[in-house]
Chain A
Amino acid sequence: MLALRAPGVLGLQGLTLVAGGAALCLLAAGRRPEELGLGRSHLGGRLLGGAALAAVLLLPAAARWGGGPGLAPALGVAAVAVSVGEEVAFRGVLFAALEEAYGPAAAVLGSTAAWTLAHVLSHPAPFLPAVTAAGLLLAAWRWAARDLVGPIVGHVLADVAL
Protein backbone atom coordinates (compact mmCIF):
# COMPACT_ATOMS: atom_id res chain seq x y z
CA MET A 1 0.00 0.00 0.00
CA LEU A 2 1.42 3.33 -1.04
CA ALA A 3 0.56 5.12 2.18
CA LEU A 4 2.46 2.55 4.18
CA ARG A 5 5.33 2.37 1.72
CA ALA A 6 5.78 6.14 1.92
CA PRO A 7 6.49 6.88 5.58
CA GLY A 8 7.42 10.43 4.61
CA VAL A 9 3.80 11.14 3.79
CA LEU A 10 1.12 9.47 5.88
CA GLY A 11 3.43 7.40 8.08
CA LEU A 12 5.16 10.46 9.52
CA GLN A 13 1.85 12.21 10.06
CA GLY A 14 0.45 9.12 11.73
CA LEU A 15 3.45 8.84 14.06
CA THR A 16 3.21 12.54 14.94
CA LEU A 17 -0.47 12.23 15.79
CA VAL A 18 0.07 9.03 17.81
CA ALA A 19 2.84 10.78 19.77
CA GLY A 20 0.53 13.74 20.37
CA GLY A 21 -2.25 11.47 21.62
CA ALA A 22 0.14 9.64 23.94
CA ALA A 23 1.46 12.95 25.28
CA LEU A 24 -2.10 14.06 26.10
CA CYS A 25 -2.68 10.78 27.96
CA LEU A 26 0.40 11.47 30.10
CA LEU A 27 -1.48 14.42 31.61
CA ALA A 28 -3.48 11.84 33.56
CA ALA A 29 -0.39 10.63 35.43
CA GLY A 30 -0.96 10.63 39.18
CA ARG A 31 -4.76 10.64 38.95
CA ARG A 32 -6.92 7.69 40.02
CA PRO A 33 -9.04 6.26 37.16
CA GLU A 34 -12.22 6.97 39.14
CA GLU A 35 -11.35 10.69 39.31
CA LEU A 36 -11.25 10.75 35.52
CA GLY A 37 -14.50 8.84 35.05
CA LEU A 38 -12.67 5.65 34.13
CA GLY A 39 -13.97 3.34 36.86
CA ARG A 40 -14.98 -0.23 35.98
CA SER A 41 -18.49 -0.21 37.45
CA HIS A 42 -21.42 -0.40 35.00
CA LEU A 43 -19.01 -0.98 32.12
CA GLY A 44 -21.78 -2.32 29.87
CA GLY A 45 -23.79 0.85 30.31
CA ARG A 46 -20.75 3.01 29.69
CA LEU A 47 -19.94 1.20 26.44
CA LEU A 48 -23.55 1.53 25.36
CA GLY A 49 -23.35 5.22 26.14
CA GLY A 50 -20.32 5.41 23.87
CA ALA A 51 -22.25 3.77 21.04
CA ALA A 52 -25.13 6.21 21.59
CA LEU A 53 -22.75 9.18 21.57
CA ALA A 54 -21.13 7.90 18.35
CA ALA A 55 -24.56 7.60 16.73
CA VAL A 56 -25.40 11.20 17.65
CA LEU A 57 -21.98 12.53 16.57
CA LEU A 58 -22.19 10.76 13.21
CA LEU A 59 -25.86 11.33 12.51
CA PRO A 60 -25.50 14.60 10.53
CA ALA A 61 -22.75 13.06 8.37
CA ALA A 62 -24.51 9.72 7.88
CA ALA A 63 -27.80 11.36 6.90
CA ARG A 64 -26.10 13.27 4.09
CA TRP A 65 -23.48 10.69 3.17
CA GLY A 66 -22.63 10.42 -0.50
CA GLY A 67 -20.02 7.68 -0.17
CA GLY A 68 -16.26 7.83 -0.37
CA PRO A 69 -13.26 6.15 1.18
CA GLY A 70 -12.34 6.67 4.82
CA LEU A 71 -9.01 7.29 6.50
CA ALA A 72 -5.82 5.61 5.40
CA PRO A 73 -4.79 2.87 7.87
CA ALA A 74 -1.93 4.91 9.32
CA LEU A 75 -4.29 7.78 10.03
CA GLY A 76 -6.93 5.39 11.39
CA VAL A 77 -4.52 4.34 14.13
CA ALA A 78 -3.58 7.97 14.70
CA ALA A 79 -7.26 8.95 14.95
CA VAL A 80 -7.73 6.45 17.78
CA ALA A 81 -4.68 7.79 19.65
CA VAL A 82 -5.74 11.41 19.22
CA SER A 83 -9.34 10.72 20.26
CA VAL A 84 -8.30 8.91 23.43
CA GLY A 85 -5.70 11.60 24.22
CA GLU A 86 -8.18 14.43 23.74
CA GLU A 87 -10.80 12.78 25.93
CA VAL A 88 -8.34 12.02 28.72
CA ALA A 89 -6.96 15.57 28.60
CA PHE A 90 -10.17 17.61 28.23
CA ARG A 91 -13.05 15.54 29.67
CA GLY A 92 -10.75 13.62 32.02
CA VAL A 93 -8.01 15.68 33.66
CA LEU A 94 -9.22 19.21 32.94
CA PHE A 95 -12.83 18.37 33.76
CA ALA A 96 -11.83 16.79 37.08
CA ALA A 97 -9.60 19.72 38.01
CA LEU A 98 -12.24 22.33 37.17
CA GLU A 99 -14.96 20.39 38.96
CA GLU A 100 -12.85 20.12 42.10
CA ALA A 101 -12.07 23.82 42.05
CA TYR A 102 -15.23 25.48 40.77
CA GLY A 103 -18.00 22.89 40.44
CA PRO A 104 -19.67 20.96 37.62
CA ALA A 105 -20.91 23.92 35.54
CA ALA A 106 -17.39 25.34 35.32
CA ALA A 107 -16.09 21.87 34.45
CA VAL A 108 -18.54 21.44 31.56
CA LEU A 109 -18.11 24.98 30.20
CA GLY A 110 -14.37 25.25 30.89
CA SER A 111 -13.44 21.92 29.31
CA THR A 112 -15.62 22.76 26.29
CA ALA A 113 -13.97 26.17 25.91
CA ALA A 114 -10.48 24.65 26.12
CA TRP A 115 -11.43 21.91 23.64
CA THR A 116 -12.73 24.53 21.18
CA LEU A 117 -9.61 26.68 21.56
CA ALA A 118 -7.44 23.64 20.91
CA HIS A 119 -9.20 23.16 17.57
CA VAL A 120 -9.00 26.76 16.40
CA LEU A 121 -5.77 26.23 14.47
CA SER A 122 -6.68 22.89 12.91
CA HIS A 123 -10.24 23.73 11.89
CA PRO A 124 -11.69 26.28 9.47
CA ALA A 125 -13.90 28.83 11.26
CA PRO A 126 -17.26 27.46 9.98
CA PHE A 127 -16.57 24.15 11.79
CA LEU A 128 -15.99 25.69 15.22
CA PRO A 129 -19.66 25.89 16.32
CA ALA A 130 -20.00 22.14 15.63
CA VAL A 131 -16.73 21.50 17.50
CA THR A 132 -18.04 23.49 20.49
CA ALA A 133 -21.37 21.67 20.40
CA ALA A 134 -19.62 18.27 20.25
CA GLY A 135 -17.46 19.28 23.23
CA LEU A 136 -20.56 20.36 25.13
CA LEU A 137 -22.32 17.07 24.41
CA LEU A 138 -19.35 14.95 25.50
CA ALA A 139 -18.81 17.07 28.62
CA ALA A 140 -22.53 16.87 29.44
CA TRP A 141 -22.30 13.07 29.30
CA ARG A 142 -19.19 13.14 31.49
CA TRP A 143 -21.11 15.19 34.07
CA ALA A 144 -24.43 13.37 33.87
CA ALA A 145 -23.03 9.81 33.92
CA ARG A 146 -19.78 10.51 35.82
CA ASP A 147 -18.19 8.60 32.96
CA LEU A 148 -15.34 9.05 30.48
CA VAL A 149 -15.58 5.62 28.80
CA GLY A 150 -18.63 6.73 26.81
CA PRO A 151 -17.00 9.90 25.41
CA ILE A 152 -13.83 7.93 24.53
CA VAL A 153 -15.79 5.22 22.69
CA GLY A 154 -18.04 7.75 20.94
CA HIS A 155 -15.15 9.98 19.91
CA VAL A 156 -13.02 7.08 18.62
CA LEU A 157 -15.89 5.60 16.60
CA ALA A 158 -16.77 8.97 15.11
CA ASP A 159 -13.17 9.75 14.13
CA VAL A 160 -12.51 6.35 12.60
CA ALA A 161 -15.83 6.18 10.74
CA LEU A 162 -15.19 9.50 9.04
Chain B
Amino acid sequence: MRRRAALLSLAATAYVAAAWAVTPGFYDGIAPPQPYRWVSPPPQFKSSNQQPLSGRGSARVASNGSVDPGSIFTQDGQAAVSFVPGAFVTPADRSPVTIDVKPVAEFPNPDGTHLATNVYCVTSSSPLTPGKDVLVTLQFSDQLPAPSDIYEYQGDGPWKKIGSTGSAAPFYIATRATSLGCFAGGYPANAKQSAQGARLGGGQALPIIVALAILVVVLAGVPLAVMRRRAARAAREDESEP
Protein backbone atom coordinates (compact mmCIF):
# COMPACT_ATOMS: atom_id res chain seq x y z
CA MET B 1 0.00 0.00 0.00
CA ARG B 2 2.77 2.43 0.98
CA ARG B 3 4.75 1.48 -2.11
CA ARG B 4 1.76 2.27 -4.31
CA ALA B 5 1.17 5.62 -2.61
CA ALA B 6 4.87 6.47 -2.98
CA LEU B 7 4.85 5.63 -6.69
CA LEU B 8 1.68 7.67 -7.20
CA SER B 9 3.26 10.65 -5.44
CA LEU B 10 6.34 10.25 -7.59
CA ALA B 11 4.22 10.22 -10.75
CA ALA B 12 2.31 13.31 -9.59
CA THR B 13 5.56 15.17 -8.87
CA ALA B 14 7.02 14.18 -12.23
CA TYR B 15 3.86 15.39 -13.95
CA VAL B 16 3.88 18.79 -12.22
CA ALA B 17 7.55 19.24 -13.13
CA ALA B 18 6.98 18.30 -16.78
CA ALA B 19 3.82 20.38 -17.12
CA TRP B 20 5.51 23.37 -15.52
CA ALA B 21 7.96 23.45 -18.44
CA VAL B 22 5.21 24.37 -20.91
CA THR B 23 2.28 26.79 -20.90
CA PRO B 24 -0.52 26.25 -19.99
CA GLY B 25 0.61 22.88 -18.62
CA PHE B 26 -2.14 20.35 -19.12
CA TYR B 27 -3.14 20.43 -22.76
CA ASP B 28 -5.21 17.85 -24.61
CA GLY B 29 -5.21 19.32 -28.09
CA ILE B 30 -8.74 20.72 -27.93
CA ALA B 31 -7.68 24.37 -27.87
CA PRO B 32 -4.66 26.02 -29.52
CA PRO B 33 -1.51 25.58 -27.42
CA GLN B 34 -0.04 28.98 -28.27
CA PRO B 35 -1.60 32.44 -28.15
CA TYR B 36 -2.67 33.78 -31.55
CA ARG B 37 -0.11 36.09 -33.13
CA TRP B 38 -1.69 39.31 -34.32
CA VAL B 39 -0.47 41.81 -36.91
CA SER B 40 -2.53 44.44 -35.09
CA PRO B 41 -3.45 42.95 -31.73
CA PRO B 42 -6.68 43.88 -29.96
CA PRO B 43 -5.91 46.06 -26.90
CA GLN B 44 -6.09 43.20 -24.40
CA PHE B 45 -3.35 41.25 -26.22
CA LYS B 46 -0.97 44.13 -27.00
CA SER B 47 1.43 43.55 -24.14
CA SER B 48 2.05 39.88 -24.85
CA ASN B 49 1.62 39.79 -28.63
CA GLN B 50 4.20 38.32 -30.97
CA GLN B 51 4.21 39.21 -34.64
CA PRO B 52 2.85 36.52 -36.98
CA LEU B 53 5.22 34.79 -39.37
CA SER B 54 5.06 34.27 -43.11
CA GLY B 55 5.61 31.08 -45.07
CA ARG B 56 7.16 30.12 -48.39
CA GLY B 57 7.36 26.85 -50.23
CA SER B 58 7.66 25.43 -53.69
CA ALA B 59 6.07 22.68 -55.73
CA ARG B 60 8.06 20.81 -58.36
CA VAL B 61 6.88 19.89 -61.81
CA ALA B 62 6.35 16.14 -62.03
CA SER B 63 7.53 13.98 -64.91
CA ASN B 64 4.01 14.03 -66.35
CA GLY B 65 4.25 17.81 -66.67
CA SER B 66 1.83 18.80 -63.91
CA VAL B 67 2.79 20.71 -60.78
CA ASP B 68 3.01 18.47 -57.70
CA PRO B 69 0.45 18.72 -54.89
CA GLY B 70 1.47 20.20 -51.54
CA SER B 71 0.74 22.40 -48.56
CA ILE B 72 2.49 25.64 -47.66
CA PHE B 73 2.30 26.75 -44.02
CA THR B 74 3.33 29.97 -42.35
CA GLN B 75 6.15 29.28 -39.88
CA ASP B 76 3.79 29.73 -36.91
CA GLY B 77 1.16 27.46 -38.47
CA GLN B 78 -1.54 30.13 -38.45
CA ALA B 79 -2.24 29.96 -42.20
CA ALA B 80 -1.85 27.30 -44.85
CA VAL B 81 -2.57 26.77 -48.53
CA SER B 82 -3.04 23.22 -49.86
CA PHE B 83 -3.33 22.23 -53.48
CA VAL B 84 -3.91 19.17 -55.64
CA PRO B 85 -1.76 18.01 -58.62
CA GLY B 86 -1.94 20.45 -61.50
CA ALA B 87 -3.49 23.25 -59.43
CA PHE B 88 -0.90 25.65 -60.82
CA VAL B 89 -0.09 26.28 -64.49
CA THR B 90 3.16 24.48 -65.37
CA PRO B 91 5.91 27.08 -66.03
CA ALA B 92 7.35 27.04 -69.54
CA ASP B 93 10.82 26.21 -68.18
CA ARG B 94 9.35 23.57 -65.84
CA SER B 95 10.90 25.32 -62.87
CA PRO B 96 9.30 24.79 -59.41
CA VAL B 97 6.33 27.01 -58.54
CA THR B 98 6.97 29.19 -55.50
CA ILE B 99 4.07 30.02 -53.19
CA ASP B 100 4.19 32.74 -50.52
CA VAL B 101 1.80 33.28 -47.61
CA LYS B 102 2.29 36.60 -45.83
CA PRO B 103 0.37 38.38 -43.08
CA VAL B 104 -0.27 42.01 -44.08
CA ALA B 105 -0.96 45.12 -42.05
CA GLU B 106 -2.77 47.16 -44.70
CA PHE B 107 -5.89 46.10 -46.52
CA PRO B 108 -9.18 47.54 -47.81
CA ASN B 109 -11.83 48.37 -45.24
CA PRO B 110 -14.07 45.29 -44.81
CA ASP B 111 -17.39 47.18 -44.66
CA GLY B 112 -19.98 45.37 -42.60
CA THR B 113 -17.61 42.55 -41.69
CA HIS B 114 -15.63 42.01 -38.52
CA LEU B 115 -12.31 40.32 -39.28
CA ALA B 116 -11.46 37.77 -36.60
CA THR B 117 -8.02 36.78 -37.92
CA ASN B 118 -5.03 38.40 -39.54
CA VAL B 119 -5.20 39.06 -43.26
CA TYR B 120 -2.95 36.68 -45.20
CA CYS B 121 -2.00 37.34 -48.84
CA VAL B 122 -1.15 34.34 -51.00
CA THR B 123 0.96 34.77 -54.14
CA SER B 124 2.53 32.27 -56.50
CA SER B 125 5.14 32.41 -59.24
CA SER B 126 2.71 30.71 -61.63
CA PRO B 127 -1.05 31.34 -61.85
CA LEU B 128 -3.73 28.97 -60.66
CA THR B 129 -4.98 26.65 -63.41
CA PRO B 130 -8.47 27.70 -64.58
CA GLY B 131 -11.07 25.44 -62.96
CA LYS B 132 -8.74 24.38 -60.14
CA ASP B 133 -8.84 25.63 -56.58
CA VAL B 134 -6.72 25.67 -53.42
CA LEU B 135 -7.70 24.98 -49.83
CA VAL B 136 -7.06 27.98 -47.58
CA THR B 137 -6.88 27.17 -43.85
CA LEU B 138 -6.67 29.86 -41.18
CA GLN B 139 -6.23 29.53 -37.45
CA PHE B 140 -8.20 31.86 -35.21
CA SER B 141 -7.81 32.96 -31.61
CA ASP B 142 -9.45 30.95 -28.83
CA GLN B 143 -9.82 34.19 -26.89
CA LEU B 144 -12.28 35.87 -29.24
CA PRO B 145 -15.47 34.95 -31.13
CA ALA B 146 -14.93 32.47 -33.94
CA PRO B 147 -15.21 33.53 -37.58
CA SER B 148 -18.14 32.09 -39.52
CA ASP B 149 -16.57 32.38 -43.00
CA ILE B 150 -13.41 33.19 -44.87
CA TYR B 151 -13.38 36.45 -46.81
CA GLU B 152 -11.14 37.32 -49.75
CA TYR B 153 -10.13 40.38 -51.70
CA GLN B 154 -7.92 40.92 -54.71
CA GLY B 155 -6.04 44.06 -55.69
CA ASP B 156 -7.70 47.01 -54.01
CA GLY B 157 -10.80 45.10 -52.98
CA PRO B 158 -13.63 44.85 -52.23
CA TRP B 159 -13.87 41.97 -49.75
CA LYS B 160 -16.16 39.09 -50.67
CA LYS B 161 -17.31 36.14 -48.63
CA ILE B 162 -16.06 32.82 -50.02
CA GLY B 163 -17.60 30.60 -47.34
CA SER B 164 -16.32 27.85 -45.08
CA THR B 165 -15.91 24.12 -45.46
CA GLY B 166 -15.23 23.77 -41.73
CA SER B 167 -12.11 22.09 -40.41
CA ALA B 168 -11.44 18.91 -38.47
CA ALA B 169 -9.11 20.81 -36.12
CA PRO B 170 -10.60 23.09 -33.49
CA PHE B 171 -9.90 26.81 -33.93
CA TYR B 172 -9.17 26.46 -37.63
CA ILE B 173 -11.43 27.48 -40.47
CA ALA B 174 -10.95 26.48 -44.11
CA THR B 175 -12.46 27.04 -47.51
CA ARG B 176 -11.72 26.41 -51.17
CA ALA B 177 -10.64 29.41 -53.24
CA THR B 178 -10.66 29.51 -57.02
CA SER B 179 -8.30 32.48 -57.12
CA LEU B 180 -5.30 33.62 -55.13
CA GLY B 181 -5.59 36.84 -53.18
CA CYS B 182 -5.74 37.98 -49.57
CA PHE B 183 -7.78 36.02 -47.02
CA ALA B 184 -9.12 36.50 -43.53
CA GLY B 185 -11.67 34.83 -41.27
CA GLY B 186 -14.57 37.02 -40.20
CA TYR B 187 -18.24 37.37 -39.46
CA PRO B 188 -20.95 39.98 -40.10
CA ALA B 189 -20.29 42.98 -37.87
CA ASN B 190 -23.84 42.92 -36.52
CA ALA B 191 -23.28 39.35 -35.22
CA LYS B 192 -20.53 40.49 -32.89
CA GLN B 193 -22.62 40.73 -29.73
CA SER B 194 -24.08 37.26 -29.97
CA ALA B 195 -20.71 35.82 -30.91
CA GLN B 196 -19.18 37.02 -27.68
CA GLY B 197 -21.55 34.77 -25.78
CA ALA B 198 -20.16 31.64 -27.41
CA ARG B 199 -17.86 30.77 -24.55
CA LEU B 200 -18.05 28.82 -21.36
CA GLY B 201 -16.89 30.44 -18.16
CA GLY B 202 -14.59 27.52 -17.43
CA GLY B 203 -11.43 29.35 -18.45
CA GLN B 204 -12.02 32.22 -16.05
CA ALA B 205 -13.01 29.80 -13.32
CA LEU B 206 -9.96 27.53 -13.59
CA PRO B 207 -8.38 28.50 -10.25
CA ILE B 208 -11.81 28.12 -8.59
CA ILE B 209 -12.27 24.64 -10.08
CA VAL B 210 -8.86 23.57 -8.78
CA ALA B 211 -9.54 25.06 -5.33
CA LEU B 212 -12.93 23.31 -5.22
CA ALA B 213 -11.37 19.98 -6.24
CA ILE B 214 -8.80 20.28 -3.45
CA LEU B 215 -11.51 21.27 -0.97
CA VAL B 216 -13.71 18.33 -1.94
CA VAL B 217 -10.80 15.90 -1.64
CA VAL B 218 -9.85 17.21 1.80
CA LEU B 219 -13.38 17.60 3.21
CA ALA B 220 -14.71 14.30 1.91
CA GLY B 221 -11.44 12.38 1.97
CA VAL B 222 -10.75 12.75 5.68
CA PRO B 223 -14.11 11.31 6.86
CA LEU B 224 -13.80 8.56 4.24
CA ALA B 225 -10.36 7.60 5.52
CA VAL B 226 -11.58 7.67 9.13
CA MET B 227 -14.58 5.44 8.24
CA ARG B 228 -12.34 3.00 6.45
CA ARG B 229 -9.90 2.84 9.35
CA ARG B 230 -12.76 2.24 11.80
CA ALA B 231 -14.16 -0.52 9.61
CA ALA B 232 -10.74 -2.17 9.37
CA ARG B 233 -10.28 -1.94 13.15
CA ALA B 234 -13.73 -3.43 13.76
CA ALA B 235 -12.93 -6.28 11.37
CA ARG B 236 -9.65 -6.97 13.19
CA GLU B 237 -11.42 -6.97 16.55
CA ASP B 238 -14.06 -9.37 15.22
CA GLU B 239 -11.32 -11.71 14.03
CA SER B 240 -9.48 -11.61 17.37
CA GLU B 241 -12.62 -12.42 19.40
CA PRO B 242 -12.78 -16.12 20.37
Contacts and interface: CB of A to CB of B under 8 A. Distances in A.
Interface in B1-49: 4-5, 7-8, 11-12, 14-31, 33-34
B41 to A, nearest CB: 14
A122 B29 contact: yes
A5 B193 CA distance: 13
Interface in A135-157: 136-137, 140-141, 143-144, 155, 157
B180 interface: no
Contacts of B204: 67-70
A76 B166 contact: no
A26 interface: no
A127 B20 contact: no
Interface stretch (B51-59, B65-73, B83-91, B168-176): B168-176
Contacts, number: 228
A62 B207 contact: yes
29 contacts: A1-B195, A2-B198, A3-B145, A4-B198, A5-B194, A45-B224, A48-B224, A54-B210, A58-B25, A60-B16, A60-B26, A67-B204, A70-B199, A70-B203, A70-B204, A72-B198, A123-B33, A127-B22, A129-B18, A129-B21, A130-B22, A133-B19, A134-B15, A136-B15, A140-B11, A158-B26, A161-B202, A161-B203, A161-B205
Interface of B: 4-5, 7-8, 11-12, 14-31, 33-34, 142-143, 145-148, 164-170, 173, 187, 191, 194-195, 197-207, 209-210, 213-214, 216-217, 220-221, 224
